[in-house]
Amino acid sequence: MLSLLDEQAIKKEKHTMAKLRTGDTALDFTLPATDGQTYNLHDAFKNARAVAVVFTCNHCPYVRAWEDRINAIARDYASQGVRLFGINSNNALAYPADSFENMVKRAHEKHFVFPYLYDESQSVARSYGAERTPELFIFDATKTLRYHGAPDDNYEDEHAVKHHYAREALDALLAEREPALPETKPVGCSIKWKP
């Protein structure tokens, strides 16, 4: 028989790693960014037709393979009312390449056109149920999750991509349609959790 403390710990663990599912509402957050500003998700929806939240980092080879394509999505869709946020939730003590200082350097080197946010407490990643880098959550203007998964179907070779999952989902939302494929399996490194 479980003690009350054991039951509370199990409930807390389930709650902290609950996964957002398509149809769920975006969970608000306020985080600092590499550009010196602080961003609030609620504010992003005020003038947005869609918002993409991408859990990412600096060191993961999957992220590095996809980051130019993610940056291109942010650039190509900005004029259509799409906002994209990159969030690094990795434990920087165990993975110094993912420190805030190195995030600033990476954003500058790669000319990120999206805010690159630091989730030092890992609370945003936990509340979203994010597990990988990169992992995308795309919301429509009503803050409803309409796509979750990978950016596209080939991290190794962008010229061999057959399905541009994120772009296809955004195109559908901008045309006021449901994405044909609302869920794909995120492919990437695991988020590096604090002990």
Look at residue 17 in the predicted model and tell me its pLDDT. 56
Query: What is the pLDDT confidence band of residue 3, given thresholds at 50, 70 and 90?
Result: very low
Q: Tell which residue, 55, 68, 63, has the closest CA to residue 130.
A: 55
Look at residue 5 in the predicted model and tell me its pLDDT. 40
pLDDT, tens digit, 9 for 90 and up, residues 56-114? 999 999 999 999 999 999 999 999 999 999 999 999 999 999 999 999 999 999 999 99
The answer to whether residues 70 and 134 touch, using CB atoms and an 8 Å cutoff, is yes
Look at residue 15 in the predicted model and tell me its pLDDT. 38
Distances (CA, A) of 83 to 60, 113, 161, 164: 23, 10, 23, 18
Please say if the pLDDT value at position 7 is more than 90.
no
Please say if the pLDDT value at position 14 is more than 60.
no
Look at residue 31 in the predicted model and tell me its pLDDT. 98
Look at residue 16 in the predicted model and tell me its pLDDT. 46
Mean pLDDT of 6-23: 58
Lowest mean pLDDT among 12-16, 102-106, 129-133, 135-139: 12-16
For the chain, which residues make up each domain, given as ranges? 19-190
The answer to whether residues 58 and 106 touch, using CB atoms and an 8 Å cutoff, is yes
Q: Which fold has domain 19-190?
A: Glutaredoxin (3.40.30)
Please give the Cα distance from 83 to 137 (Å, whole number).
Answer: 12
Look at residue 134 in the predicted model and tell me its pLDDT. 98
The residue among 1 and 21 whose pLDDT is bigger is 21
Q: What are phi and psi of 50, to 5 degrees?
A: -160, 150
The answer to whether residues 134 and 54 touch, using CB atoms and an 8 Å cutoff, is yes
Instruction: Kindly report the pTM of this predicted structure.
Output: 0.91
Mean pLDDT of 145-172: 97
